[in-house]
C-alpha cells in the first residue's frame, strides 16, 4: 500500500485539530482547497489567538447525516448547555444585524449574570445561585472544549465553529435574537 497523498494528510490533520494555521503559500492553499472540495468539504477562514486559521466545513448538501448505521452519532447537548450557549451568543453578538462570528469578547460574569436572572426570575437579589452557577461554569468549559466558545482567551468570545453556521441558521437566530438570555445592567442592582 502506498503513502497517502500529502493533501489527504493535510485534510486529516485539519479535521483532527479543528483549526489549523492558514498557509501563507498560495499554491499550498489552492491545493488544500481543491482537496477539500473533492471530499465534499470547504475551508472556512477564521481568526484565532494565534492568527489567521482554517476550519474544515461541509459543502452545502454534503454534510454527513445522522444514524448509527452510517457511523455518525450526534450527542444532544443538555438544556443547561444550550441555555448557557444562548447566553454566550447574546452577550458576544449584541447586534443581530452584524455577523455573529467572531463577535465581541465579554467577561464570564456577564454571561453568568444573565443566566442567574433566567434561572430564578422569581427569587430576589442575594439568593444563592452557586449550584446553578457551577453547572453553567461547567457548560462554559464544555463549550470551550468543543469550539463553540474560543478556548484560547480568558473571557468569553464565540468560537470558530460559529463561523460554520449556514446563512439560513443565522437568519433564524436573528429573528429570535431578542429572546436570548441577556444581562441587563439593572440586574446588577
User: What is the grid cell recorded at 76?
Assistant: 444532544
What is the mean pLDDT of the segment spanning 14-43? 85
Which H helix or E strand runs over 41?
strand 41-48
Using the predicted structure, report yes or no on whether residue 187 has a pLDDT greater than 70: no
Share of the chain above pLDDT 90, in %: 34
Which H helix or E strand runs over 173?
helix 167-175
What letter does residue 125 receive in the DSSP assignment?
T
Using the predicted structure, report yes or no on whether residue 189 has a pLDDT greater than 50: no
What is the pLDDT at residue 65? 66
In degrees and rounded to multiples of 5, residue 81 shows phi and psi of -65, -40
* Between 30 and 186, residue with greater pLDDT: 30
In degrees and rounded to multiples of 5, residue 63 shows phi and psi of -60, 140
Share of the chain above pLDDT 70, in %: 80
What is the mean pLDDT of the segment spanning 117-134? 63
What is the mean pLDDT of the segment spanning 76-82? 89
What is the pLDDT at residue 4? 55
Using the predicted structure, report yes or no on whether residue 184 has a pLDDT greater than 90: no
**Most confident by average pLDDT, 38-52, 54-68, 101-115:** 101-115
Using the predicted structure, report yes or no on whether residue 70 has a pLDDT greater than 80: no
Residue 188: pLDDT band (50, 70, 90) is very low
Helix, strand, coil percentages for the chain (3-state, nearest 5): 50, 15, 40
The position carrying cell 459543502 is 59
Of 2-11, 83-92, 163-172, the poorest mean pLDDT is in 2-11
Mean pLDDT of the chain: 82
What is the mean pLDDT of the segment spanning 76-99? 93
Amino acid at each position: 500500500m502506498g503513502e497517502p497523498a500529502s493533501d489527504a494528510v493535510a485534510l486529516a490533520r485539519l479535521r483532527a485539530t479543528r483549526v489549523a494555521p492558514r498557509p501563507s503559500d498560495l499554491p499550498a492553499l489552492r491545493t488544500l482547497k481543491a482537496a477539500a472540495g473533492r471530499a465534499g468539504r470547504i475551508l472556512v477562514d477564521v481568526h484565532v489567538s494565534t492568527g489567521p486559521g482554517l476550519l474544515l466545513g461541509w459543502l452545502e448538501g454534503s454534510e454527513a447525516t445522522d444514524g448509527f448505521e452510517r457511523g455518525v452519532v450526534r450527542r444532544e447537548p443538555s438544556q443547561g448547555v444550550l441555555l448557557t450557549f444562548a447566553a454566550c451568543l447574546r452577550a458576544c453578538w449584541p447586534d443581530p444585524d452584524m455577523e455573529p462570528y467572531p463577535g465581541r469578547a465579554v467577561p464570564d460574569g456577564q454571561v453568568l449574570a444573565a443566566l442567574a436572572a433566567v434561572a430564578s426570575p422569581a427569587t430576589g437579589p442575594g439568593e444563592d445561585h452557586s449550584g446553578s452557577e457551577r453547572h453553567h461554569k461547567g457548560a462554559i468549559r464544555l463549550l470551550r472544549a468543543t469550539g463553540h466558545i474560543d478556548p484560547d482567551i480568558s473571557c468569553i468570545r464565540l468560537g470558530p465553529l460559529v463561523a460554520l453556521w449556514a446563512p439560513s441558521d443565522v437568519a433564524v437566530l436573528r429573528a429570535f435574537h431578542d429572546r436570548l438570555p441577556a444581562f441587563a445592567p439593572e440586574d446588577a442592582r
